[in-house]
A and B are shown apart, each in its own frame.
Chain A
């Protein structure tokens, strides 16, 4: 006899009942079979087409399989010390997580309680909103202004129950950013009353001269918490490793909600190695991204398609057709992009910037699907 299923409608909180689980894309072999394509270029997740840095690759190859039996460093000890040296903060200012997504959850758990709210934009990385929602807190979503975060509207949305403000800088998916002047002005007006998270998942791609150094601003603004990831520039997405950095007293509070041992040894070792040749790897990647941007800017202008090119390794394109239909049509040709309706950008697609031959293939496929 099968066991009895508990009364889920009574056990599950209402704010969970209304949430649909996120369904990630299927593996390549399944997708190729479903769409009938022989090859597949994933331009949907903003991964670095160059792959991990040479030092990181070597660290991965040299990983001792016997170590699989041993628990990892529960708080990424060596990595935190190295990060501290790189950025001039104490190791205690860093908290490493199983991808930056995990540290988003840590921060929300640490500061929010029933009735509280967080503030972010309506068209940005969805995880801030999701984690708040499935934790039972209100996400206040402020519309973008000219494709960027609207500082004044965000400040106006703050009330007594606002605990955290999330700013994605540069913003995913628009690539827009706040320069140092704007970020400082915002922090001044918040006046230390809320936690301000600046998610810099794509900061290493930024080439604009006035792009801020938020890591430095932590010294002046103890309510500032910065997120970074090894998934994007450092191409360790499969290993799931990211971190946050902030004032030690703030990070100590966040650490109380953190799940230790969630970051595996291979990820820690590869991340540590990535820091050794970070400069060369970043330069090579920036060159590839720059070339892709230049090529796409020219081609999309030729095709008359509106596009937003910002500071990340991605581009947003407005199509004269449904983005979800464009997704299916491009998939038939082995090109996987991100349909942006879920980001509240209907009829837009986001495309990861990659090697030129792949960008050429993308444009070729795009030309076949856009209505004349």
Chain B
């Protein structure tokens, strides 16, 4: 199957075309491998988004609907001319009041946002906004009755690319060896194979002459940051971890990526290739860093100055403050939830006047759901995000570390202090 497959239609904003949009999404999603119970929520989301946009759209305007096959997921993209849409409806904390007509109008978007696995908003230089809705495919969970132990190990392991059957073996061995510490996708070997096939992930595996897996490293390619998982090792031989890191680096050294990070590095990670960020994260740059501007609210400047000094990073900190200019009344936040680790990473999609209240509401709702480890990622390369500094501090978040080039610029990671902010 061609992993670049996508279906694209240009639809005028007309109510009678709603069935066309719904049908296109549903049929494409199924053709791209989603089961009916997964494609239906996506079709429902499409109906809600399109219906909502019709109420906002000017006459003779069109929307581009793109249904994209992402190997392990299906992505639906609604691309339209930028206009004020009620971004707050995309917050997971958004609630609808039956007495508030405006709020009811937004209910469809709220339902759409909650019916998918991931949601992202982007804009382009042509003045378009795009809503990306992602629904992942379903995969069978690993059965640990299978014997993943190696036999007749050949002493010499070579670093090879992740071929499907090797990846499945690798997933099994990671779950067997690392148990709860293994990221959840290792529990779904078929998903791991599709993740690598999508081109969004890469893998380096250690394989001996008898096709035994000695270890491996998985990484996700971002626009500037590559995020790796591992290295996972099943044998105690010197230099295996180094070989994996060098294998990964040789693949990504001449790409767009500028840094590599392992947020939860295993104890086998070779320290000499990395800089330490915080307690567990390892980091390295892939190219010479010759400086950048970091946008920051004055309340965070001293933290940043100290962090940049410690990291030997050349940065020019540019102060950003809200000075009464007109901004959207509402904010929108993206949430990435890892329920097993009770962990949530928040980031901002849209900075609005209600940022503090909205953040507090997010914290309340997330904690009610038992999600107690809350983090926030602020992109220092986006000036508007810097305005969020006071709201974050007021809501009980404290800055813990800087991930250079983790976003458009440096990512400032905050952690929520549990006793504060509520």
- Residues in chain A within 8 A of chain B (CB atoms): 4-5, 7, 18-20, 23, 25-26, 30-31, 34-35, 122, 126, 129, 320-322, 324-325, 327-329, 331-332, 338-339, 341-344, 346-347, 371
CA distance A153 to B273 in the complex (A): 29
28 contacts between A and B (CB under 8 A): A4-B126, A5-B126, A19-B256, A23-B290, A25-B288, A31-B290, A34-B291, A34-B316, A35-B314, A126-B254, A322-B272, A322-B274, A322-B275, A325-B285, A327-B288, A327-B289, A328-B289, A328-B314, A329-B312, A331-B314, A339-B288, A341-B284, A341-B286, A344-B250, A344-B254, A346-B245, A347-B272, A347-B273
Given A320-B272, A344-B249, also A339-B312 (CB < 8 A): no
The answer to whether A342 and B125 have CB atoms under 8 Å apart is: no
The answer to whether A328 and B272 have CB atoms under 8 Å apart is: no
In the complex, what residues of A have CB within 8 A of residue B250's CB?
122, 344
The answer to whether B272 and A25 have CB atoms under 8 Å apart is: no
Main secondary structure of the interface of B (DSSP, over half): loop
Question: CB within 8 A of B253: which of A5, A328, A331, A346?
Answer: A346
In the complex, what residues of A have CB within 8 A of residue B286's CB?
324, 341-342
* A246 shortest CB reach to chain B, Å: 28
* B180 shortest CB reach to chain A, Å: 30
The answer to whether B253 and A324 have CB atoms under 8 Å apart is: no
The 4 closest A-B pairs by CB, nearest first: A34-B314, A324-B285, A34-B291, A20-B256
B98 contacts chain A at the CB level, 8 A cutoff: no
Binary interface profile of B, 227-266, with partner A (CB < 8 Å = 1, else 0)? 0000000000000000001100110011110000000000
In the complex, what residues of A have CB within 8 A of residue B256's CB?
18-20
The answer to whether A325 and B275 have CB atoms under 8 Å apart is: yes
Given A20-B256, A346-B245, also A5-B314 (CB < 8 A): no
In the complex, what residues of A have CB within 8 A of residue B291's CB?
26, 30-31, 34-35
In the complex, what residues of B have CB within 8 A of residue A320's CB?
272
* B209 shortest CB reach to chain A, Å: 19
The answer to whether A342 and B253 have CB atoms under 8 Å apart is: yes
* B311 shortest CB reach to chain A, Å: 8
Question: CB within 8 A of A20: which of B126, B255, B290?
Answer: B255
Closest chain A residue to B248 by CB distance? A346
B287 contacts chain A at the CB level, 8 A cutoff: yes
* A318 shortest CB reach to chain B, Å: 10
- Residues in chain B within 8 A of chain A (CB atoms): 125-126, 245-246, 249-250, 253-256, 272-275, 284-291, 311-316
* B312 shortest CB reach to chain A, Å: 4
CA distance A331 to B285 in the complex (A): 15
Closest chain B residue to A2 by CB distance? B127
Q: Which of A5, A332, A344 has the most CB of B within 10 A?
A: A344
Given A4-B126, A341-B249, A346-B249, also A324-B312 (CB < 8 A): no
Question: CB within 8 A of B287: which of A30, A321, A339?
Answer: A339
* A90 shortest CB reach to chain B, Å: 38
In the complex, what residues of A have CB within 8 A of residue B314's CB?
31, 34-35, 328, 331
The answer to whether B254 and A322 have CB atoms under 8 Å apart is: no
* A288 shortest CB reach to chain B, Å: 25
In the complex, what residues of B have CB within 8 A of residue A329's CB?
312
In the complex, what residues of B have CB within 8 A of residue A347's CB?
272-273
CA distance A329 to B275 in the complex (A): 12
In the complex, what residues of A have CB within 8 A of residue B287's CB?
324, 339, 341-342
A25-B288, A122-B250, A322-B274 are known contacts; what are 9 more A-B pairs with Cβ within 8 Å? A25-B290, A31-B290, A34-B291, A320-B272, A329-B312, A331-B314, A338-B288, A341-B286, A342-B287
In the complex, what residues of B have CB within 8 A of residue A332's CB?
312
CA distance A5 to B126 in the complex (A): 6
Question: CB within 8 A of A344: which of B125, B253, B274, B316?
Answer: B253
